[in-house]
Structure 1
Amino acid sequence: MTKNTTPTDGATRAIELTPEHPTERVAELAALAEDEGFDIAFASSHYFNRDPFVALSRMADATDELRLGPGVVNPYESHPVKLAAQTATIDEVSDGRAVFGVGAGDRSSLANLGIERDSPLRRVLETFKLAQDLWDGETVTHEGTFTARDASLNIEPPSEEIPTYVGAQGPHMLRMSAKHAEGVLINAAHPRDLEWAAGEIEQGLEEREAQSASERASEERSDSRDGEFESLAFASVSVAGDETEAREAARPPVAFIAGGAAEPVLERHDIDREAASAVSDALEQGNLHEAFGHVTPAMIDAFCIAGTTETIADRFEAALEYVDGIVVGSPLGPDLEDAVRRASEALDSVENRRSE
């Protein structure tokens, strides 16, 4: 089990707020999340929504202690140096509350922009290593999956360290995040997937420790930052007073998850391959309504924590056997404010159970 790096007691509570809503609404939701005891708020990044960094700036103005960051940006749509500067700006305007959520991005969304997602593991790793050097005030020249020459930032982020959380689902990205980053955002909601991911993360942590020991012995500078590592389940959540309404609201995000799910994930949950292909084909053709209609109850059970407050509390408790915290992710529920409160109540319930 990994260790919690946040100053709060118990499991880390995080939430994903999507800038599909006006930035003022997102800022209000962030303020509510802070009042409800959440530790981190991630603003999701999709080219068809509002800019996550603009939303994060508004969220910073509306909050006092909530940690804030993109969840997650990718180093294909924007150059890694630009992402480092944007994140440093959020750290500045929030008085040192930034986190950096970075991942390889959604292959189908990048394809819509004519972008090929090549060498995703190396590109993500090189991106946050470069960002760390830039945040430390270094001038950087880099030749790898991208190029940067004599790059530096005219920003001094107030944080001593902006923690990097890597969005991950596959085995290699999970292990890499554990070896090199401060945290991981596991793209999963079901205990079966989280248990499998925990095994991959443990391998990465063992490699991290072995590397650190070797570097200490040779008095070399460590390639990974000191400190503890945190694993968070970045889980699609839909909560409401009515179970059916909550599950219906889960259809859109579940469609995108199921449509892009790898074969081993489908097999792990005994999801019919033809049903998943029907969802995927409809999404590729832009037929969203049709895609959502192809979502099966089994897909919702596998890829979303959906139901009443009591139902999701049970699912949160099961997930926390394998991770250090939960990111309450999209869609949240049919009523956003109500969903934030209900998710907080569910997490309170879990904390109470675990302290008994």
Structure 2
Amino acid sequence: MLALSGAVSGAFTLFASTPALALYEQARWFTLHNGMDVIVIENHRAPAVHARVVYKVGALDEQPGQYGIAHVLEHMMFRGSPAYKGRALAPGEYDSELGRIGATDNASTSANVTSYYALMGSEHLELFIEMNAILMNGLNADSEQLENEKGVVQQEFRQRWENNPTARATHELRAALRGASAYDHPVIGFEEDFQGLTSQDLLDFHAAWYQPNNAVLIVSGDVLPEDVLVMAEKHFGDFPAGDVPARLRPDAERPFEPGFETVTDALITKASARRAWRLPEVVPEKGPEAFRTCYAARLLTSMLTSGLDAPFTRYLQTERQIALSAGFSLVLDEGQDWALLNVDPVEGIDAVEVLDEAEVFLRNWLA
């Protein structure tokens, strides 16, 4: 059994001031002539750099019948790209080149964005930027490669969705909070949709969304902002701005009724409970102070709940011994932000009672 409940917006208000926020003040923001944003946070404590290219497209931008295409495209971006400025990428070359220099890299797709990122020595930053410009230029949509990646995605679908009742229940909770049909499908999509995708579908989706004026290059580490700007202009500057589709978003303030739901699943052998709250939306119109408060709150919740010796965890698992595990997190979701409290109780103890006690602890600690 999974017990789910929702609560009204603004149930928690969090404030904090941390040294980490100073990094926000150090960020340099540039915009290339084609609309691509470049954000650089200079930090010389180690000769390393974290870089990522973020495209403002995710599962919420998908059309019915193509649910999962953003995630499949993310996979296919590692299967090779046609030549750009005299260099092409063979299947797997992107990963192997970054591995050769000792970098760690990955990519991710969410409801709102798709990101390609790597941690590397700062002297290798231009290689990362160059290869991501090749990815922006196009992809190898070979049908055989696509069928192979569909198989990989199908395994992820089995693991992360079909055989993961906790993930499905949390998704239902999120959709109920939002009260909008756009949240009805998971980021990974539905099997019948992603299995039906064609090479042309991916090429069209890439052409629509992988435009410079829909992308952000973010670099943090041992670099000079001016040097990053030169690299960005060199490799991304020749792309023309494109006509990016309008992004439709659910109304974050749509009224909803707080409720409680019990979910049963044959794969669930032990009860757990989750409770979620809508949070006041954080949007650019509210200014940088809203973002500083929001990210400070995330840091505060991490300090409160991360690790067995964190106050929240220690209270429920060590002192009270009523939970096998527990967590509290803030999910920042492009203005549709929410807080999630979850507990897995000790056998014989009611899950909702543990959830209630966990909420009381949080409210008292944050008061």
Instruction: With the length of structure 2 as denominator, give the TM-score of the two structures.
Output: 0.27
Greater per-residue helix proportion? 1
Between structure 1 and structure 2, the one with the greater Rg is 2
**Larger % of strand: which?**
2
Q: Taking CA–CA contacts closer than 8 Å with sequence separation of 6 or more, which of the two structures ends up with the larger relative contact order? A: 2
TM-score by length of structure 1 reads 0.27
